[in-house]
Amino acid sequence: MLADGIMAAIMTALMRFVVPAFVVAAALWMPAAAAAFSLLPDPRTGSVAGDLDFAARWSPEPDPFGFDTGFHDGIQVAVAHDFAERLELTDPAEIELLRATVVRAFAAWQTPELRFDVDFARVPVEGINQGGGDAGWEFDLFAVDETHPVFADENYFGYTLLRHRAAEDRLLSNGRRADGRVIIAVDIFVNVDLLLPLARILPLPQQAAALQRLLMHEIGHGLGFGHPNTFNTFNNHYDTDEDPFNPMVIAALDPALGLMFTDDRNARAVMSNDRSQIGPHLFFTELQHDDRGGRDALYPSLQVCPGDCSGDGATDVAELVTLIAVALGERLWEFCHRGDLDGDGAVQVDEILRAVRRALEGGCE
């Protein structure tokens, strides 16, 4: 139970503030590589890095093209009704797991402002290139075979088509405005001819994890991100420093502040498509620091959720443990800077208790 886990975390916090910790578990201090994030190519120049302000993204207000797309009412997701059937899932429990996997994949990218509305009763429509933003829903998800036109050039596990248009003075999630591209429609396709052979040799939980990671990757494209490993020349990737082992702290009111170009990359990142690493990282379903850094740069959040280290709008037991480790000096401040509610560069007991209340009751400040 969540409440039981939170109470255990509270007791751990209190005990560890009284008794100094001399031994720290490796999971609490080992750095997770935080390399760079890459944007979709800039249509003006073809540059992968492009201009962060101009970069394509969803807007928090209805777009100016009359399609009423944007995350002001949640980004609406439709899943093809034959999705489970094409993945050869017929048992009700398996279908329910599939649906939960799809929901988790979208939820992984959420922030307090950027939310998804996944509805399996909707009917998706292919054709964003033909029908523009008024074809289908904001995100349409399909399972197709390798003969589908999107896989004509190469057999990928998944492929994303998206449509974005230039708009003047578009609204950003931090309340600022800037000229740039507005994403208005996304179609995601998964290739069942590649997925099924893999699924048949994996137990069901691992099938779900592999599919979730694949969907998270394609959703990332639909949010405006490219592959951080695809382009090997310098100045293709953003980071906040040259240290590949710390989280990115993005200034919500000025996301470009402190960003620099770097060539350091993390093969575990959800947005990486390094095929040489697909085996070791097949089942990792958590956004890495560079994934989150990109999300926070394109979709900066002004809401403060106590203890929400990942910035996804929720606080869980693992984040409470991280917050405690930051307070004790066992992890760097950057690993849960959102827990520092007063911005003094440290995490205090009262901030941990506010995070506990957040986990129990919900709600941002």
Q: What is the pLDDT of residues 128-174, one digit of tens each?
A: 644 444 568 999 999 999 999 999 887 889 999 998 889 999 999 99
Q: How many angstroms separate the CA atoms of 177 and 66, rounded?
A: 19
Report pLDDT for 50: 65
Does the pLDDT value for residue 17 go beyond 50? Answer: no
Of the ranges 58-72, 141-155, 204-218, 348-362, which one carries the lowest mean pLDDT score? 58-72
**Statement: residue 31 has pLDDT above 80:** no
* Domain layout of the chain by residue ranges: 2-30+303-361, 71-191
pLDDT band, residue 100 (cuts 50/70/90): very high
The share of the chain scoring above pLDDT 90, in percent, equals 55
Give the pLDDT of residue 246: 77
Stated pTM of the model: 0.86
Most confident of 1-5, 140-144, 239-243: 140-144
Q: Which two tokens stand for residue 178?
A: 């800037």
The pLDDT mean for the chain works out to 83
The predicted structure's pLDDT at residue 266: 67
Predicted confidence (pLDDT) per residue in 33-44, tens digit: 334 788 887 777
The residue-averaged pLDDT of 327-347 equals 92
Report residue 238's pLDDT band, with 50, 70 and 90 as the boundaries.
Answer: confident
pLDDT of residue 262: 74
What are 161-213's pLDDT values in tens digits?
998 889 999 999 999 999 999 999 999 999 999 999 989 999 999 999 999 99
pLDDT tens track for 251-280: 999 998 888 877 666 667 898 886 655 666
Whether 296 contacts 250, CB under 8 Å: yes
